[in-house]
Structure 1
Amino acid sequence: MRLRAKYLLVGDLELVENGVVEVDDQGVVVGVGKYTGGVAADLGNVVLMPQLLNAHVHVLDAAMADRDDLYIDDLVGWPHGAKYHVVKTLVRRRRHIPLLRAVARRMRGYGVGCAVVYAEYAARDVEEVFRGEGIEALVFQEAHGDFPDYPHVQVASPVDHPVDYLRELRRRYALVSTHVSETEDCHEAGDLALTLEALDADVLVHLVHVTPEEAAAIPPSKTVVVNPRANAYFVGKVAPIPLLLHLKPLLGTDNVFMNEPDPWAEMKFLHAYSAAAGWGLGEREILSMATVWGWEKLKCPPPIEVGQKMRALAVAAPYAGDKVLKYLVKRVSHRDLVAFVEGTRILPV
């Protein structure tokens, strides 16, 4: 199957105008380039790009949507934050599956093909529901001083637990993650050192309060995730992303109860914040945070390149001008999504 589109974003988001992608019967890309003739299914006036990654999202807490009337620790702090009481009750009564399905469908409608989900409870249910709705899910089950029966674990903060317990988590589990330096209190308590040394976490989320020296010391093997809207709402400060660019940070939307899990909204916010802060982040960098850098770090979503499974998103092309990357980062919303292209299937959004 050959697919033609007005624009392609291939490999490391290189722009190809009047492009064509060839996909074999197994749904693998076998050719990418400029259209020079021949039979092709014409997708029309669209940008064919990688699907989006939401690299940090709490989905079960949608049950307490827009409950933002408490201090951050009273809302989400382990073990007594309001979130834990609400979510535990929801799961115990088996009312979480319809909610998970609704959130997954909503995220799919934003063009999300991959999600890194923090599950306070019921990680396997989260994984199953999301994959059933077409989203590849890397799920982390929260450890509450115990040892969950799940291969990936996270802790709300390393300062909540003894050092020996953090080391044992690292020894037992394939992937380990944590929030780190989200609040000034946790940063001052030394949570980054605990994260890198005792826990040796694979995925570090937030990093709002890191210093230049601390950012430079984070090993390049680590995956870091920033959540600009959530950090602005909760702690009035955004992670110093220019200090983290060497780590190719990923973009997440954080708690569904607080933020709509919409990566387009996150990109718009970050683009505006970068301009106001004088950071000068480029549109390609911002779009990479929500797409191809996720492939480098977590193997999802795949880029559009030879040898990779075809999992793309067709977005209506710019209605004016030719600044494609800027248009995607500043202007696109779910209303502009046309179709998912998965293997040899073209699925309307």
Structure 2
Amino acid sequence: MKARFKARFVLAGELEVLQDGVVEVDDGGVVVGVGKYTGGTVADLGNVVLMPQLVNAHVHVLDAAIIDRDDMYIDDLVGWPYGVKYRLVKEHVSRGRHIPLLRKVAERMRRYGIGCALIYAEYAARDVESVYREYGVEAIVFQEAHGDFPDYPNVQVASPLDHPVEYLRELRRRYRLVSTHVSETEDCHEGGDLELALKELGADVLVHLVHVTDEEISSIPPEKTIVVNPRANAYFVGRVAPVHKLLSLKPLLGTDNVFMNEPDPWAEMKFLHAYSATAGWSIGEREILAMATVWAWEKIRCIPPIEPGRPLRALAVVAPYAGDKVLKYLVKRVAHSDLIAFVEGSRITPT
């Protein structure tokens, strides 16, 4: 059925703030109009911001099996193939213990307002995809390749340095989407992992880029999907990717390993906002919010902007309790407890 939703604020298109905004959807749940309220019958959502659902653009969910295990060097914890993570996650999957754990993580991620996630699955990619579908989260899953050729359309390797060049080329030839971590540590950067990822693996999605130089940034084609993970990088390697220099590539925001970070994009945005201010980076609130929402549509077709011709997949979030700096309020102050409802097509689902 057709519906018209009114909200105190609507974030339309590239996050343009419309006060007293109205969004109209057709019988198929596709937006047919966005504008300011001028009268007529509406479903009044009240004192809320209607905004696109969030995207977590890089998250390892199976490693919740080792939650808060942070007592070792990063490579000993998560390095392929002998890191603690691989041994324990593989054991969980072999015994079927991963499904209940996946459900708990998926439920929490949905509660944060996540509508889409790019998930790295060390194993059991189809199980991950299936569980997330149960919870209404679109999952673009990358099955890790361990020197083999997984029966799944999207693959990732922990690092292109882990494999022969011929294998990297064959992955590119065989699979629809390919991803990898690059330049997360100084050692990997010095080993030339970015060049391998671009020239041999042909990766579509590049994650981390903590140590990249200006020259290397200029070599990255604009169609590539770049994902930064500020909290995880600060925790693991004591350094954050130069996000302010990556903005022309429209980077996305991820939370990385569930065992270390709660998979909460609101927390990631707050951290990046504060870090940017401390570092003197020129990154605006609109850009930070776009990293967790609309840029993902342009890059990998996750969660469309609120504009005509797109399905409505939105969040109703409590509006600012004072003032009218909506974008700053969303990036600096909002938590998942401020979510009122999911608005999907003509359907409203209270949180």
Tell me which interval the TM-score lies in, with the shorter structure as reference length.
Answer: over 0.9
Whether 2:80 is the aligned partner of 1:78: answer yes
Aligned to 1:200: 202
Aligned to 1:259: 261
Deviation (angstroms), 1:343 = 1.1
Question: 248, 270, 278: which one pairs with 2:272?
Answer: 270
Deviation (angstroms), 1:296 = 0.3
1:146-205 Cα offsets, whole Å, 9 max, x none, are 000000000000000000000000000010000000000000001011000010100000
Aligned to 1:176: 178
Q: Is the 8 A contact 1:208 1:240 kept in 2?
A: yes
Aligned positions of 1:161-310 closer than 5 A: 161-310=163-312
Equivalenced residue count is 349
Aligned positions of 1:133-148 closer than 5 A: 133-148=135-150
Runs of 4+ in structure 1 displaced over 2 angstroms?
A: none
Deviation (angstroms), 1:280 = 1.9
Aligned to 1:68: 70
Does the residue aligned with 1:165 lie in a helix, a strand or coil? helix
Partners of 2:58 and 2:45 lie apart in 1 by: 31
Letter in structure 2 aligned against 1:138 = I
Q: Is the 8 A contact 1:159 1:191 kept in 2?
A: yes
Aligned positions of 1:311-330 closer than 5 A: 311-330=313-332
Deviation (angstroms), 1:277 = 0.4
Deviation (angstroms), 1:267 = 0.1
Deviation (angstroms), 1:242 = 1.4
Letter in structure 2 aligned against 1:182 = E
Partners of 1:160 and 1:135 lie apart in 2 by: 31
Question: 103, 106, 119: which one pairs with 2:105?
Answer: 103
Unmatched segments (≥5 aa) in structure 1: none
Q: Is the 8 A contact 1:271 1:283 kept in 2?
A: yes
Aligned to 1:28: 30
Letter in structure 2 aligned against 1:329 = V
Partners of 2:141 and 2:166 lie apart in 1 by: 24
Q: Is the 8 A contact 1:216 1:243 kept in 2?
A: no
Deviation (angstroms), 1:320 = 1.0
State the TM-score, normalizing by the size of structure 2: 0.99
Aligned to 1:90: 92
Does the residue aligned with 2:39 lie in a helix, a strand or coil? coil
Does the residue aligned with 1:275 lie in a helix, a strand or coil? helix
State the TM-score, normalizing by the size of structure 1: 1.00
Cα RMSD, aligned residues only? 0.4
Aligned to 2:119: 117
